[in-house]
Amino acid sequence: MKRYICDKENNEKMQGYLDFNQIDGFKIKPRNKVKYDGIEVSKMTLVEPSLIEMVLKKKTKRKLNAYLKFLITAFDDDTSSGDLALVLDDTKRYKAIIVNKYAKFLDAKYIRDLLLRVKFVEDEIKMRMHEQNREMKVSRGKGR
Protein backbone atom coordinates (compact mmCIF):
# COMPACT_ATOMS: atom_id res chain seq x y z
CA MET A 1 0.00 0.00 0.00
CA LYS A 2 1.39 3.35 -1.00
CA ARG A 3 0.81 6.47 1.04
CA TYR A 4 0.71 9.89 -0.58
CA ILE A 5 1.15 13.31 0.89
CA CYS A 6 -0.84 16.06 -0.80
CA ASP A 7 0.38 19.62 -0.47
CA LYS A 8 -1.27 22.63 -2.08
CA GLU A 9 1.96 24.65 -2.27
CA ASN A 10 4.06 21.91 -3.81
CA ASN A 11 2.62 20.44 -7.02
CA GLU A 12 5.04 17.51 -7.11
CA LYS A 13 3.83 14.06 -6.18
CA MET A 14 5.46 13.06 -2.96
CA GLN A 15 5.51 9.51 -1.84
CA GLY A 16 6.57 8.61 1.63
CA TYR A 17 5.57 7.46 5.04
CA LEU A 18 3.87 9.72 7.50
CA ASP A 19 2.76 8.55 10.93
CA PHE A 20 -0.96 9.29 10.80
CA ASN A 21 -1.38 8.64 14.52
CA GLN A 22 0.82 11.65 15.23
CA ILE A 23 -1.19 14.04 13.03
CA ASP A 24 -3.80 16.07 14.85
CA GLY A 25 -6.74 16.40 12.50
CA PHE A 26 -10.18 15.08 11.62
CA LYS A 27 -10.09 11.50 10.39
CA ILE A 28 -12.69 10.35 7.87
CA LYS A 29 -13.35 7.29 5.76
CA PRO A 30 -14.91 8.09 2.38
CA ARG A 31 -17.99 5.99 1.70
CA ASN A 32 -18.24 6.68 -1.99
CA LYS A 33 -18.92 3.43 -3.83
CA VAL A 34 -18.41 4.84 -7.34
CA LYS A 35 -15.89 2.96 -9.45
CA TYR A 36 -12.93 5.15 -10.29
CA ASP A 37 -9.75 4.41 -12.25
CA GLY A 38 -7.57 6.66 -10.11
CA ILE A 39 -6.32 6.41 -6.57
CA GLU A 40 -8.59 4.65 -4.13
CA VAL A 41 -8.83 6.41 -0.77
CA SER A 42 -9.67 4.28 2.26
CA LYS A 43 -8.81 6.77 5.04
CA MET A 44 -8.12 10.46 5.06
CA THR A 45 -6.96 12.90 7.72
CA LEU A 46 -7.98 16.52 7.23
CA VAL A 47 -5.58 19.02 8.76
CA GLU A 48 -6.67 22.37 7.30
CA PRO A 49 -9.07 24.00 9.83
CA SER A 50 -11.26 25.66 7.20
CA LEU A 51 -11.65 22.37 5.31
CA ILE A 52 -12.50 20.51 8.52
CA GLU A 53 -15.10 23.14 9.38
CA MET A 54 -16.66 22.95 5.92
CA VAL A 55 -16.85 19.13 5.99
CA LEU A 56 -18.30 19.02 9.50
CA LYS A 57 -20.91 21.67 8.75
CA LYS A 58 -22.04 19.73 5.68
CA LYS A 59 -22.12 16.53 7.68
CA THR A 60 -24.16 18.01 10.54
CA LYS A 61 -26.57 19.72 8.14
CA ARG A 62 -27.18 16.43 6.34
CA LYS A 63 -27.82 14.61 9.63
CA LEU A 64 -30.23 17.29 10.91
CA ASN A 65 -32.14 17.18 7.62
CA ALA A 66 -32.48 13.40 8.00
CA TYR A 67 -33.89 13.85 11.51
CA LEU A 68 -36.32 16.51 10.32
CA LYS A 69 -37.50 14.31 7.43
CA PHE A 70 -38.13 11.53 9.93
CA LEU A 71 -40.13 13.92 12.11
CA ILE A 72 -42.26 15.01 9.16
CA THR A 73 -43.01 11.42 8.20
CA ALA A 74 -43.67 10.55 11.85
CA PHE A 75 -46.31 13.25 12.11
CA ASP A 76 -47.87 12.38 8.74
CA ASP A 77 -47.92 8.59 9.19
CA ASP A 78 -48.50 6.40 12.18
CA THR A 79 -44.93 5.68 13.21
CA SER A 80 -44.57 3.11 15.97
CA SER A 81 -43.23 4.12 19.33
CA GLY A 82 -40.39 1.62 18.85
CA ASP A 83 -39.15 3.54 15.81
CA LEU A 84 -39.44 6.78 17.73
CA ALA A 85 -37.46 5.31 20.63
CA LEU A 86 -34.70 4.21 18.23
CA VAL A 87 -34.43 7.69 16.74
CA LEU A 88 -34.47 9.22 20.23
CA ASP A 89 -31.53 7.01 21.22
CA ASP A 90 -29.76 7.98 18.01
CA THR A 91 -30.19 11.68 18.75
CA LYS A 92 -28.69 11.19 22.21
CA ARG A 93 -25.75 9.37 20.65
CA TYR A 94 -25.39 12.13 18.07
CA LYS A 95 -25.30 14.79 20.81
CA ALA A 96 -22.47 12.90 22.49
CA ILE A 97 -20.56 12.77 19.18
CA ILE A 98 -21.02 16.52 18.75
CA VAL A 99 -19.73 17.29 22.22
CA ASN A 100 -16.85 14.80 22.24
CA LYS A 101 -15.65 14.77 18.63
CA TYR A 102 -16.80 17.88 16.76
CA ALA A 103 -16.38 20.46 19.53
CA LYS A 104 -12.62 20.70 19.15
CA PHE A 105 -12.93 21.55 15.43
CA LEU A 106 -15.96 23.88 15.39
CA ASP A 107 -16.51 27.15 17.24
CA ALA A 108 -18.55 27.20 20.46
CA LYS A 109 -21.43 29.24 19.03
CA TYR A 110 -22.02 26.79 16.19
CA ILE A 111 -21.86 23.84 18.61
CA ARG A 112 -24.38 25.54 20.91
CA ASP A 113 -26.77 26.19 18.00
CA LEU A 114 -26.37 22.63 16.75
CA LEU A 115 -27.10 21.19 20.18
CA LEU A 116 -30.21 23.37 20.43
CA ARG A 117 -31.46 22.03 17.10
CA VAL A 118 -30.86 18.44 18.15
CA LYS A 119 -32.60 19.16 21.47
CA PHE A 120 -35.59 20.48 19.50
CA VAL A 121 -35.73 17.22 17.53
CA GLU A 122 -35.49 15.22 20.78
CA ASP A 123 -38.31 17.23 22.36
CA GLU A 124 -40.55 16.73 19.33
CA ILE A 125 -39.92 12.98 19.36
CA LYS A 126 -40.63 12.81 23.09
CA MET A 127 -43.84 14.77 22.59
CA ARG A 128 -44.93 12.41 19.79
CA MET A 129 -44.17 9.37 21.96
CA HIS A 130 -46.15 10.88 24.83
CA GLU A 131 -49.12 11.51 22.52
CA GLN A 132 -49.02 7.92 21.27
CA ASN A 133 -48.90 6.57 24.82
CA ARG A 134 -51.85 8.75 25.81
CA GLU A 135 -53.85 7.57 22.77
CA MET A 136 -53.11 3.94 23.66
CA LYS A 137 -54.39 4.46 27.21
CA VAL A 138 -57.55 6.17 25.97
CA SER A 139 -58.26 3.52 23.37
CA ARG A 140 -57.90 0.69 25.91
CA GLY A 141 -60.17 2.24 28.52
CA LYS A 142 -62.71 0.13 30.41
CA GLY A 143 -64.40 -2.47 28.30
CA ARG A 144 -67.95 -3.51 29.21
Q: Residues of the chain with pLDDT > 70: what percent? A: 82
Whole-angstrom distance, CA of residue 125 vs CA of residue 81 = 9
Q: Residues of the chain with pLDDT > 90: what percent? A: 31
∠24-30-32 over CA atoms, to 5°?
170
Using pLDDT thresholds of 50, 70 and 90, give the confidence band for residue 71. Answer: confident
- Whole-prediction pTM value? 0.72
pLDDT of 7: 62
**Stretch (H or E) spanning 45:** strand 44-46
Q: What is the DSSP letter of 19?
A: -
Cβ atoms of residues 82 and 29 within 8 Å: no
Using pLDDT thresholds of 50, 70 and 90, give the confidence band for residue 55. Answer: very high
Using pLDDT thresholds of 50, 70 and 90, give the confidence band for residue 132. Answer: confident
Q: What value does the mean pLDDT take over residues 53-72?
A: 90
Task: Write the single-letter amino acid at 13.
Answer: K
Whole-angstrom distance, CA of residue 61 vs CA of residue 114 = 9
Whole-angstrom distance, CA of residue 134 vs CA of residue 98 = 33
- Integer CA distances (angstroms), 110 to 3, 46, 96, 113, 122, in order: 34, 20, 15, 5, 18
Q: What value does the mean pLDDT take over residues 6-33?
A: 70
pLDDT score of 123 more than 90? yes
